[in-house]
Amino acid sequence: MLFLPLLDRGWRIPALPRSRSRHLIWAVLLISGIALLVWRPSDTPFAVATLLMAAIPEEWFFRAYFMTRLGNGWRANLIATLLFSLLHGLTQGLPAAIRVFAPSLVFGWLYQRTRDLPLLVLVHALSNILYVMFLAGYVATWAPGLR
């Protein structure tokens, strides 16, 4: 799946935004992630894994390639989100599909607004890190099936 975009001759790798404001936003997100890991270094292996094994490949395929090939607008975002959730459900179960649906819609909306893949990768990785550090325990207590 990850190599499909490279085989599609009609698709181009998204250009990197080169504005100072984008670089500042990237820096703030990176510094926030690093600060969280300095505070809780035991979560560093998870953070590296989520960046390399989840955020980069998922956003590369689902947003930069698949959703872009579907077009613009809410329908493209919804279809990409449904596929994203379905694949999470098939590999991790229904609770995972439910858990990733809303964030996937937000990620799709953000990508359609900005076309900034590095921003989206950083937001995705940071949201996964924040979920594991702060929310997973609470979700387990009030909705045990969704953890």
Look up the pTM and report it.
0.88
Q: Yes or no: say if 77 and 112 are a contact pair by the CB < 8 Å rule.
A: yes
What pLDDT sits at residue 147? Answer: 55
Distance CA 137, CA 121 (A): 24
- Positive/negative CA dihedral, 54, 34, 109, 4: negative
The pair of three-digit structure tokens given for residue 99, joined into one six-digit string: 């858990």
Query: Is the predicted pLDDT of residue 138 greater than 80, yes or no?
Result: no
Q: Yes or no: say if 95 and 147 are a contact pair by the CB < 8 Å rule.
A: yes
Tens of pLDDT, residues 43-95: 999 999 999 999 999 999 999 999 999 998 999 999 999 999 999 999 999 98
Average pLDDT, the chain: 91
What pLDDT sits at residue 108? Answer: 96
Share of the chain above pLDDT 90, in %: 73
What pLDDT sits at residue 146? Answer: 58
